[in-house]
């Protein structure tokens, strides 16, 4: 087990950083997606959706920082270019003209995508004995699962 970040091998740090940067890219894109929808949602559910989308993007902004700081803590570079995040992310930008239910569906799918990416990160970190990254991935995964559930509840 790697008791500190400096205990990780160069190969382990690189592999973990790649997975962290994937999660970071998806979180960055989803942060902007939620903010876009926050600004542009309309309809009878405007109030609660406007508030929920804000809760999501505020949480995700903090999550971005946590992920990027973990990349740095293991001695690697956190990717910071928006174009890189857009290219890398499995989550795609949304249409600000979408109907509220499409916004909800897209944002729920984004939460599930990030959750899956974080589960993969957790496995990679565990495989290298990096319990701190594993813990971060598990905790962030729980948050994304909760947001996916909250969003999907609006579709029923």
Q: Which of 118, 97, 108 has the alpha carbon at shortest distance from 148?
A: 108
pTM of the model: 0.95
Q: For residue 131, is it within any domain? A: yes
Q: 7: pLDDT confidence band, cut at 50, 70 and 90?
A: confident
Query: Is pLDDT above 80 for 14?
Result: yes
CATH number of the domain that 144 lies in? 1.20.1260.10
| pLDDT single digits (tens) 115-133 | 999 999 999 999 999 999 9
Q: For residue 94, is it within any domain? A: no
What HEC string does 97-116 produce? CCCHHHHHHHHHHHHHHHHH
pLDDT, residue 52, reads 98
Number of domains in the chain: 1
How distant, in Å, are the alpha carbons of 28, 97, 125 from that of 109? 15, 18, 24
Q: Which domain holds residue 12?
A: 5-89+100-153
Average pLDDT over residues 101-126: 98
Q: For residue 95, is it within any domain? A: no
Average pLDDT over residues 36-41: 98
Q: For residue 66, is it within any domain? A: yes
Q: 65: pLDDT confidence band, cut at 50, 70 and 90?
A: very high
């Amino acid at each position: 087990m790697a008791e500190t970040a400096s205990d990780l091998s160069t190969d382990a740090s690189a592999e973990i950083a790649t997975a962290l940067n994937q999660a970071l890219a998806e979180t960055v894109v989803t942060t902007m997606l939620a903010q876009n929808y926050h600004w542009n949602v309309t309809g009878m559910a405007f109030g609660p959706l406007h508030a929920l989308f804000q809760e999501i993007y505020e949480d995700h902004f903090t999550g971005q920082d946590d992920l990027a700081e973990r990349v740095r803590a293991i001695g690697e570079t956190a990717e910071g270019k928006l174009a890189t995040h857009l290219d890398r992310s499995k989550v795609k930008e949304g249409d600000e003209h979408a109907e509220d239910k499409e916004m909800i569906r897209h944002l729920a799918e984004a939460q599930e995508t990030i959750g899956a990416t974080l589960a993969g990160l957790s496995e990679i970190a565990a495989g290298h004995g990096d319990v701190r990254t594993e813990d971060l991935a598990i905790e962030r995964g729980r948050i994304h699962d909760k947001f996916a559930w909250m969003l999907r509840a609006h579709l029923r």
